[in-house]
Amino acid sequence: MRASAAIYGCLGPRLGAEEIAFFRDVRPWGFILFARNIEGPDQVRGLISALRESVGREDAPVLIDQEGGRVQRFGPPHWRKYPAARILARLPGGLAVWREAVRLGARLMADDLHALGVNVDCAPVLDVPQPGAHDIIGDRAYGETPEEVAVLGRAAAEGLLAGGVLPVIKHIPGHGRAASDSHLDLPVVEASLEALRQTDFPAFQALSDMPLAMTAHVLYRALDRRRPATTSRRVIRDVLRGELGFAGLIMSDDLSMKALDGDMARRARQSLAAGCDVVLHCNGDMTEMKAVAAGARSLSGRAALRAEAALARLPRRPEPLDRREAEARFDALLSGATP
């Protein structure tokens, strides 16, 4: 039986009987974890094992949002606290130091994740913040120019891949102009196509070789006057696939965010019809997940090929890492020590 074109969360640190039965029945492509699912390393490993057992696939993707700063699901006391992207991009020494710090931080995060069985990180953020935008992106961004964001975003992606974790570039084609938080409302961007091409698109275009991307729940008037990127065939086909040249797997941002309208089944159908390969639902609410499942189809055709190609990017073994040496170097970079 094929996997369904969906990724789901779960309610707590252990699976309930209803969740196991649901996942066994609908066979999602993957899962995503949040702070509510995390108690400690052994518990997380057990939960991940149970999730993969429920769908009968040892390689089922398990995702996390582990960016550092305010978006970090694994943290003290069991895991290191990592700084926000903006902090790394303001260290003394300029771009070469920033790039080393970003890559090394991502490599350390990948080491944490790989040890638990998490194989996909929803990072790096490639959004370029603009004056007057909502601070939902803010210090999650690697810089204020598309050139900086592209260089440092690639450094983060390389660090994750070296550690055996797939990166997800987000929020394509750009959330940096949004004047509202898409968790709570639908942001509408009035910028011209030329402005988007100059500032918002370049970092995504530069990293179009990455295996996975997450859409922005943002309506861009210059691209589609009616639908946000996630549910716009015009944006996904003409911009993401066409102009930006992204050939990897495209997943929606969380369907339960208030930027989207309609019930969960409709949101899933519209996102997949627009060209998303898989849809993401995060909150673990069983009623909502059943509705998403009703609107999701099986993962087949080009979407299935893109999913296979993404997983094929995982290295058979992570790049060797001396954890103690890497942490010492990372701490030296954070302290502003001379390279």
Contact criterion met (CB below 8 Å) for 212 and 251:
yes
- By DSSP bridging, strand 278-281 and strand 249-254 are parallel
Query: Quick check: bond before 77 cis, omega within 30?
Result: yes
| CA nearest to 70, candidates 125, 17, 116, 21 | 125
Pick the catalytic residue from 42, 183, 263, 331.
Answer: 183
Q: Does any domain span residue 328?
A: yes
- pLDDT, tens digit, for every residue of 210-237? 999 999 999 999 999 999 999 999 999 9
Domain count, the chain: 1
253 is catalytic: yes
Q: Does any domain span residue 339?
A: no
CATH assignment of the domain containing 162: 3.20.20.300
Pick the catalytic residue from 65, 127, 253, 277.
Answer: 253
Q: Does any domain span residue 245?
A: yes
CA 33 to chain CA centroid, nearest Å: 12
Q: Which domain holds residue 209?
A: 4-334
Q: Does any domain span residue 317?
A: yes
Q: Does any domain span residue 233?
A: yes
Q: Does any domain span residue 61?
A: yes
Q: Does any domain span residue 29?
A: yes
**pLDDT digits (tens), the chain, 339 positions:** 799 999 999 999 999 999 999 999 999 999 999 999 999 999 999 999 999 999 999 999 999 999 999 999 999 999 999 999 999 999 999 999 999 999 999 999 999 999 999 999 999 999 999 998 888 999 999 999 999 999 999 999 999 999 999 999 999 999 999 988 788 899 999 999 999 999 999 999 999 999 999 999 999 999 999 999 999 999 999 999 999 999 999 999 999 999 999 999 999 999 999 999 999 999 999 999 999 999 999 999 999 999 999 999 999 899 999 999 999 999 999 998 544
Contact criterion met (CB below 8 Å) for 67 and 159:
no
185 is catalytic: no
